[in-house]
Structure 1
Amino acid sequence: MIPLLTFLVLALTSLVAAYDGSETLSPRSVNTKYGSLRGIIVHFKTYDRGSVSSGSSKSSSSSSSSSSSSSSSSSLPKSNSQQLKPVEVFLGVPYATPPIGSLRFMPPVTPAHWRGIKLANRFGPVCPQKIPEFVLSTESARNYSGKAGGKSNAENQLPEGRVAYLKRIIPFLRNQSEDCLYLNIYSPFSQA
């Protein structure tokens, strides 16, 4: 569960970094087994390819510069900026009945059908998470917990990257509930 959560949060933070704040209601509704959905179209800002580092583009001093320059000039466009295409997004789509009451700790149950068109434009709650107290007590997490403090012993024992990661995911963990069985679906947007 933790590796999947890590992947999802990293993917989400990457999308958030490129998000330009521009979204519109999707022009279409999608029929599902349980009812109709209408999502949103999310637009991204243009970014400079030179400013995005993949981590694997370190050049070796032994490599030939003539072969690398000829291959890159033929395969890459002249422009150094890239426009990401819009994405159709369906947020908070239920995939099971909320696991509360008598359904707590039971296998998922098929969700109820809904009438009309469900607007899927807001994230559903996340499942309850155990967040280390030192992350909640730092200045950067003040809005989440209302607390502030210095470095703890636990924070000093973790790698710096892990601490930074934990602090980055706090905004995505604010809305926690046992009623957390929701999907966020991202699809390339194509105008038909």
Structure 2
Amino acid sequence: MARSSNDRSIAGYHHSLGTRESETQAINCDDPLTQVANRKTFDLRLQEEWKRARRNGSAISLLLLRIDQFQQFNDQHGQQFSNSMLQRLAFTLSRVPRRSTDLFGRYGNEEFAIVLPDTPTYGAKRLAEILLQRARFCDVTISIGTGTVIPSESDFRQLLDSAIQALQQAKQEGGNCVVVG
């Protein structure tokens, strides 16, 4: 009888450890402020999706989003209000990509990113335009740069460079727009 009680205690202990481990993994995967994937998680998933797209010969798209005039907003309204806005924006925008394979994550202080497996240029642009509209519900504007490649025909850096250059062009055009790279 004591033995089965000990077995149950050990099983309960292992279950408790497993639950804590899952909670720790979730905490380590999400940005603590916005509760979306953090940069490390996003980068790992982007690499996984890149490899999968390369094997399948399918397109992969990357969207980089930046809040327009965030520093000015932060200076004017303060850190606490800016954090609240970041949370609201992340919550709103992270619900736009609907497929389980799409990943929305925090990419930098005022930047977010979305990886869109199996998504050609027109699909990435369409989603980016929806994101642009939804950001307005949070009383901010965003700039979005998109990059789309077929991994078997290009390298990983080309996808990143394309999205980064498109985002820079969107900012140069005054923000509140989508530029396809």
TM-score (normalizing by structure 2): 0.26
More helix by share: 2
